[in-house]
């Protein structure tokens, strides 16, 4: 899936921003699963985050890269540098029930280079504001990554011969372009029922109404059988 935010150039990485809004009826999970099964996409993570109105919340997913660091005593110790994908969101509920979100996205990656043993981290970031309806999915794109791999395959001994060695050597280059897409679906939680719904702990039938995983009615009211109250027997007397 490509939002067409910015074309890939010869640079090792490029960044732009593209924003799309999806309708509530889009079967997002099915479409992403189909793309993943075809090898055209990879779902990195599916986290859930809860925060209060006008309070920032952060999600991080990545790794700590170890390296050797000199201490004040002259010895060496193991230190770590973070290379993570992070999302910081600050939501604000508008008077008409919509959500204004301040989004900040950072993607770190290990460059493979070291300066005095310390890893060099490449960081790409996006900051934007977006106004959406409650429960509407938005897609943020524009963070690109380009990998180029060169492989050389030789036939043992023959490939190392001068002049004719190239006849027994094969070179191949593979260029891979990747775009990071982030799907965000904000929902306003108003009571404990909404919290249980978001956490996936809601039973299928609540007060006689069948609900889907988002707490919306999917069918007519279903009668709920209420067990009779226990009856305590009176003590028997002769």
Q: What is the pLDDT of residues 109-160, one digit of tens each?
A: 888 888 888 888 888 888 888 898 888 888 877 777 666 777 788 888 777 7
Do 30 and 119 belong together in one domain?
Answer: yes
Same domain, 193 and 175: no
Q: pLDDT band at residue 100, thresholds of 50, 70 and 90?
A: very high
Distance CA 120, CA 117 (A): 9
Residue 193 belongs to what domain range?
189-220
Same-domain pairing of 102 and 199: no
**40 and 105 inside one domain:** yes
Give residue for tokens 């260029």: 175
Q: Is residue 10 part of a domain?
A: no
| Pairwise CA distance, residues 174 & 58, whole Å | 36
Domain count, the chain: 2
Residue 235 lies in a domain: no
Residue 229 lies in a domain: no
DSSP 48-76: -----TT--EEEEEEEEEEEEEE-TTS-E
Question: Does one domain contain both 139 and 196?
Answer: no
152-195: pLDDT as tens digits? 888 887 777 787 777 778 877 777 777 778 888 888 887 655 55
Predicted local confidence at residue 28, as pLDDT = 66
Reported as a single tens digit per residue, the pLDDT across 213-238 is: 344 444 443 343 334 444 444 444 44
- How many angstroms separate the CA atoms of 105 and 179, rounded? 14
**b/e string for 92-122 if b means 16 or more Cβ within 10 A?**
eeeeeebbebebebbbbbeeeeeeeeebeee
Judged by DSSP in three states, 42 sits in coil
Residue 5 pLDDT greater than 60, yes or no? no
Q: How many CB atoms lie within 10 A of CB 203?
A: 8
pLDDT in tens, 42-90: 777 777 888 888 889 888 888 888 888 877 777 888 888 888 888 898 9
Of 104 and 26, the one with more pLDDT:
104
């Amino acid at each position: 899936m490509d939002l067409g935010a910015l074309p890939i150039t010869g640079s090792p990485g490029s960044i732009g921003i593209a924003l799309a809004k999806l309708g509530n009826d889009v079967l997002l999970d099915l479409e992403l699963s189909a793309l993943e099964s075809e090898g055209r996409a990879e779902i990195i993570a599916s986290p859930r985050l809860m925060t209060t109105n006008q309070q920032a919340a952060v999600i991080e997913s990545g790794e700590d890269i170890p390296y050797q660091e000199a201490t004040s005593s002259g010895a060496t110790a193991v230190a770590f540098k973070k290379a993570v994908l992070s999302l910081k969101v600050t939501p604000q509920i508008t008077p008409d029930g919509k959500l204004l979100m301040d989004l900040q996205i950072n993607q770190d990656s290990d460059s493979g280079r070291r300066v005095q043993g310390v890893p060099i981290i490449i960081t790409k970031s996006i900051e934007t504001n977006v106004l959406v309806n409650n429960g509407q999915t938005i897609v943020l794109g524009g963070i690109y990554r380009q990998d180029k791999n060169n492989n050389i395959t030789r036939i043992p001994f023959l490939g190392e011969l001068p002049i004719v060695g190239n006849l027994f050597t094969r070179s191949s280059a593979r260029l891979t372009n990747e775009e990071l897409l982030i799907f965000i679906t904000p929902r306003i939680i108003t009571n404990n029922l909404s919290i249980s719904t978001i956490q996936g702990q809601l039973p299928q039938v609540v007060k006689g109404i069948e609900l889907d995983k988002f707490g919306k009615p999917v069918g007519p009211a279903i009668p709920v059988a209420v067990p009779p109250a226990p009856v305590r027997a009176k003590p028997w007397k002769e």
